[in-house]
């Protein structure tokens, strides 16, 4: 599932496999860019932006010019089930997994990155990256992070349920369904609580908590509880009908905006479905 922390880790893996190397293999298996050939381009960097990945590429425009004179960006989004796998190029001629799920293959002389079930694949000029990610709010793991701006964005629609507001990447970028449930638990309100019903001082603290959790988890197994006991990595997400780790009440589950949502009826106050 695409959350800011695992997108950050994926970017680091892509960067390690590709950055600074010339592409010797390129295959974009989406109709719009199926004929695009990126061989000869050098992977300059891989940048995560919320849940988006920006693979920046450069190619000389003429003999004798420096790499990067022509700059393109391969923009991808993992959504719910997308994933990248990395293979030594010597074994990548036969890519693992169902071939019909492969959307992108990028290879160098040493490594090959294979993108499976990637729903969004777009090739654009690097100067036009704003078309793909310019709408996003402050990135929880990016240099533009600002908890006050994120809190103000959340409060801009006071009647909106907190769970929906947290998932809106225009407010703050990087939160998925897991962190939505966990942050609502930490705020001690249900995901259906209108943002405007929360004390104004709570929202900057909630945004700060989101940043703290994603930053702590960007290089490790995801954990929001601080517990090292098996099965206790998360407070409520995925724990329907199991005891709340704080009070022992059975955790409840209901859909919100088409996604399963979890909360503790005792620890979290506010409206429910």
Question: How many residues in total does the chain contain?
Answer: 273
pTM of the entire predicted model = 0.91
Q: How far is CA 18 from CA 28, 53, 103, 125, 254, in A?
A: 16, 14, 17, 19, 42
CA 11 – CA 23 distance, rounded (Å): 17
Average pLDDT over the chain reads 93
Asked, colleague to colleague, whether 4-133 and 147-263 share their fold, the answer is no
Fold observed for domain 147-263:
Helicase, Ruva Protein; domain 3 (1.10.8)
Q: What 8-state DSSP symbol labels residue 31?
A: G
CA 122 – CA 63 distance, rounded (Å): 28
Tokens (6 digits) for 111: 């490594």
3-class DSSP assignment, residue 13: helix
Band (pLDDT 50/70/90 cuts) for residue 103 is: very high
Strands 42-49 and 52-59, bridge-based pairing: antiparallel
CA 72 – CA 35 distance, rounded (Å): 15
The three state secondary structure string of 182-230 is HHHHHHCECCCCEHHHCCCCHHHHHHHHHHHHHHHHCCCCCCCCCCCCC
> When comparing pLDDT for 133 and 200, which is higher?
133
Alpha-helical regions (H) of the chain: 4-18, 130-133, 147-155, 162-167, 177-187, 202-217
Predicted local confidence at residue 20, as pLDDT: 94
CA 50 – CA 138 distance, rounded (Å): 8
* Domain definitions of the chain by residue range: 4-133, 147-263
Predicted local confidence at residue 2, as pLDDT: 83
C-alpha of 76 from chain center: 11
Tokens (6 digits) for 193: 């609580």
Predicted local confidence at residue 98, as pLDDT: 84
**Averaged over 203-225, what is the pLDDT?**
96
Query: Model confidence over 42-98: pLDDT tens digits?
Result: 999 999 999 999 999 998 665 655 555 679 999 999 988 899 999 998 765 666 778
Q: What 8-state DSSP symbol labels residue 101?
A: G
CA 73 – CA 57 distance, rounded (Å): 6
Rg (CA), the chain: 21
CA 100 – CA 31 distance, rounded (Å): 13
CA 59 – CA 70 distance, rounded (Å): 5
Q: Which residues of 142-181 are buried (b: 16+ CB within 10 A; e: fewer)?
A: beebbbebbbbbbbeeeebbbbbbbbbbebbbbbbbbbbb
Query: Model confidence over 2-52: pLDDT tens digits?
Result: 899 999 999 999 999 999 999 999 999 999 999 999 999 999 999 999 999
Predicted local confidence at residue 146, as pLDDT: 97
**Averaged over 226-250, what is the pLDDT?**
95
Domain 4-133: assigned CATH number: 3.20.190.10
Neighbouring residues of 83: CB distance < 8 A, sequence distance ≥ 6: 10, 115, 116, 117
Instruction: Report residue 116: phi and psi, to 5°.
Output: -105, 140
CA 12 – CA 84 distance, rounded (Å): 12
């Amino acid at each position: 599932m695409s959350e800011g922390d695992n997108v950050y880790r994926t970017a680091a893996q892509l960067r390690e496999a590709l950055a600074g190397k010339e592409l010797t293999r390129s295959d974009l298996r989406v109709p719009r860019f199926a004929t695009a050939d990126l061989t000869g381009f050098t992977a300059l960097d891989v940048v995560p932006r919320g849940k988006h990945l920006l693979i920046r590429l450069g190619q000389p425009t003429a003999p004798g010019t420096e790499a990067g004179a022509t700059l393109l960006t391969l923009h991808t989004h993992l959504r719910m089930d997308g994933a990248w796998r990395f293979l030594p190029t010597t074994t990548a001629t036969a890519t693992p997994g169902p071939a019909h799920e492969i959307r992108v293959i990028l290879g160098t002389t040493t490594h090959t990155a294979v993108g499976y079930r990637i729903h969004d694949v777009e090739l654009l000029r690097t100067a036009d990256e704003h078309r793909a990610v310019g709408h996003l709010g402050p990135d929880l793991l990016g240099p533009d992070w600002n908890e006050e701006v994120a809190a103000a964005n959340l409060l801009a629609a006071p009647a909106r349920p907190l769970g929906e507001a947290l998932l809106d990447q225009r407010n703050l970028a990087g939160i998925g369904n897991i962190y939505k449930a966990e942050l609502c638990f930490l705020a001690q309100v249900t995901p259906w609580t209108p943002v405007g019903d929360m004390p104004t001082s709570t929202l900057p603290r909630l945004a700060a908590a989101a940043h703290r959790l994603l930053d702590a988890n960007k290089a490790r197994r995801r954990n929001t509880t601080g517990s090292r006991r098996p099965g206790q990595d998360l407070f409520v997400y995925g724990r329907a009908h199991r005891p709340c780790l704080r009070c022992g009440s059975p955790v409840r589950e209901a859909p919100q905006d088409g996604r399963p949502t979890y909360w503790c009826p005792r620890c979290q106050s506010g409206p429910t479905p």
